[in-house]
């Protein structure tokens, strides 16, 4: 599987920075969370909250980020770096899920901080971590938290019970979850020359993809970046074929733009194709193989790249259209 993210670069929102907690945050963190109105809504926070616990917890967050186990971050104002709350994710690698949690100090309520921070971290997680969905919970009497979750695209899935340290026992909660489809951006408008439609009315979209194969017989996969549909999934490099382009010319253009390499048509060998129906369009994707190019493969758009042994390709989460091609490519190589 791809390596977990082991170093965290702060995430910016319009007003805040989501950054790793520092020892200097301990005093303000303690002041904000040692408040019954805040602590009573958090399952893993005792009340009263001891001052030394803030130091211990902040130290533990750095270790867990380094291990790729959890990402508990400060919500700090961009203008002065003042801590206003925390937002975090706890990963379950076996289940490929992450649990979202957040809190904001009472003096900062009513400013839309929680949805801004939680939404940003959720989108980052689905695009950069090896997970398929996010989970969250809110006390049944915490309508404010439930509203935050639904506002940022979570769906309520049921009811349950959860132990709350601050309340000394189990409490009823509402359960929520969200996946890539929930956070997907709206589909792009079709061009003026709309693609031909199949009988069910969906337009046909032609996308060309390539299996770049290095001298060690490894295949290149690229991870779809945050902000794109299916963000976080791994795919064969390529892109949409523009009006008047051939698939080969589209690949030459895309490989230059996305990977900084020069490829000639003579080096692109047709191999297989995928045909897959998505909700709003039908995808037709020829896959080419290429072993020769000029230049060094570089992530020109900041996307994650991985050179993968053919036997390991199935370990990577991929879009539905790409998955059937994996077995063909593995058997060929």
pLDDT at 184: 74
- Spatial contact of 96 and 283, defined as CB atoms under 8 Å apart: no
Residue spans of the domains in the chain: they are: 11-183, 204-332
Please give the model's pTM, rounded to 2 decimal places.
0.84
pLDDT at 202: 81
Residue 207's nearest CA partner among 184, 229, 180 is 229
The architecture in CATH of the region 204-332 reads: Alpha-Beta Complex (3.90)
Report CA-CA distances (Å) from 175 to 9, 99, 225: 30, 11, 28
Distance CA 190, CA 203 (A): 9
Is residue 51 helix, strand or coil?
Answer: helix
Distance CA 63, CA 70 (A): 9
Distance CA 124, CA 133 (A): 12
Fold observed for domain 11-183: Aminopeptidase (3.40.630)
DSSP E strands, 3-151:
11-12, 16-20, 70-77, 83-92, 97-104, 133-139
Lookup: tokens for 299: 């992530």
Does the bond joining 219 to the residue before it have cis omega, within 30 degrees of 0?
no
pLDDT at 190: 44
* β-strands 234-235, 133-139 pairing: unpaired
pLDDT at 49: 96
Distance CA 153, CA 173 (A): 18
Full pLDDT tens readout for the chain, 333 residues: 443 334 689 999 999 999 999 999 999 999 999 999 999 999 999 999 999 999 999 999 999 999 999 999 999 999 999 999 999 999 999 999 999 999 999 999 999 999 999 999 999 999 999 999 999 999 999 999 999 999 999 999 999 999 999 999 999 999 999 999 898 765 554 444 445 555 567 889 999 999 999 999 999 999 999 888 889 999 999 999 999 999 999 999 999 999 999 999 999 999 999 999 888 889 999 999 999 999 999 999 889 999 999 999 999 999 999 999 999 998 898
């Amino acid at each position: 599987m791809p390596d977990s993210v082991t170093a965290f670069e702060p995430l910016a929102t319009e007003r805040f920075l989501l950054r790793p907690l520092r020892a200097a945050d301990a005093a303000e963190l303690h002041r904000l969370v040692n408040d019954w109105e805040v602590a009573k809504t958090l399952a893993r926070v005792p009340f009263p909250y001891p001052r030394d616990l803030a130091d211990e917890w902040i130290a533990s967050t750095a270790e867990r980020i380094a291990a790729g186990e959890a990402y508990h971050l400060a919500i700090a104002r961009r203008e002065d770096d003042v801590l206003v709350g925390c937002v975090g994710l706890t990963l379950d690698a076996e289940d490929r899920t992450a649990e979202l949690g957040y809190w904001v100090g009472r003096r900062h309520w009513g400013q839309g901080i929680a949805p801004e921070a939680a939404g940003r971290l959720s989108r980052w997680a689905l695009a950069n971590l090896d997970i398929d969905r996010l989970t969250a919970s809110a006390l049944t009497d915490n309508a404010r938290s439930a509203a935050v979750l639904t506002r940022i695209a979570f769906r309520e899935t049921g009811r349950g019970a959860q132990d709350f340290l601050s309340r000394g026992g189990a409490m009823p909660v509402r359960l929520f979850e969200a996946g890539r489809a929930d956070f997907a951006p709206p589909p792009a408008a079709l061009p003026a020359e709309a693609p031909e439609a199949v009988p069910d009315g969906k337009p046909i979209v032609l996308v060309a993809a390539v299996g770049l194969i290095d001298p060690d017989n490894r295949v290149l996969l690229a991870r779809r970046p945050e902000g794109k549909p299916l963000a976080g999934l791994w795919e064969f490099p390529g892109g949409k074929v523009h009006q008047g382009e051939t698939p080969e010319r589209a690949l030459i253009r895309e490989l230059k733009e996305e990977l900084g390499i020069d490829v000639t048509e003579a080096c692109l060998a047709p191999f297989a194709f995928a045909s897959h129906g998505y909700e709003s369009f039908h995808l037709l994707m020829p896959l080419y193989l290429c072993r020769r190019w000029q230049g060094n493969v570089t992530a020109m758009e900041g996307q994650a790249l991985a050179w993968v042994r053919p036997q390991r390709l199935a370990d990577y989460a991929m879009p539905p259209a790409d998955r059937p091609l994996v077995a063909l490519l593995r058997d060929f190589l």
